[in-house]
Amino acid sequence: MCDLVARTGRHQQRYEDGRRLVAGCIPFRYRTSNGEQKKLVEVLMINSQSGPGLLFPKGGWENDETVEQAAAREAVEEAGVRGDIVKFLGYYDFKSKTHQDACCPEGMCRAAVFALHVNEELDSWPEQSTRRRTWLTVSEATSQCRYQWMQEALLTGFSDWHDNWSKGGDGDANCDPL
């Protein structure tokens, strides 16, 4: 049984310029591959509740939290992981087919996406009964990602940052790939 409870409802939801504001993350870890010295980066994806394909944890950014807190909360609620937010990857606009309301009748959303270095996988989490988590290489994740905007976040946000950072650039991250 999970002691954590997922937030529900829209009474504290943030909106800006006719768009619902959401926060999400690309959870990642390092794995040593077959005795090799170099560590392989893997990203965590979860199943969609409404169709085929995999996604990254994301959800509404609420009035009583920072965008970083919202992204970390969604990682716990949807994927059952905790970690450190290490990099803001960018804003990604998309149209939600399922979340249209009075404040956002067209269903337009803007997602703030972060890289989250996972340091704990929970045995139980709020959406465990409806979510399955899967660790994948970036290449595997790209091919299985349900949404184009999430593929873009993975390739132009996460991969570009991680490749540059692991070669000694953009040193503001606090995770060690070596």
Residue ranges in the chain modelled with pLDDT below 50: 1-2, 4-7, 176-178
Specify the pLDDT at position 39.
Answer: 80
Apex 161 CA angle, 70 and 89, nearest 5: 25
Assigned CATH topology for domain 15-167: Nucleoside Triphosphate Pyrophosphohydrolase (3.90.79)
pLDDT tens per residue across span 129-141: 999 999 999 999 9
Spell out the domain ranges in the chain: 15-167
Please name the helix (run of DSSP H) or strand (run of DSSP E) that holds residue 73, with its range, or none: helix 67-74
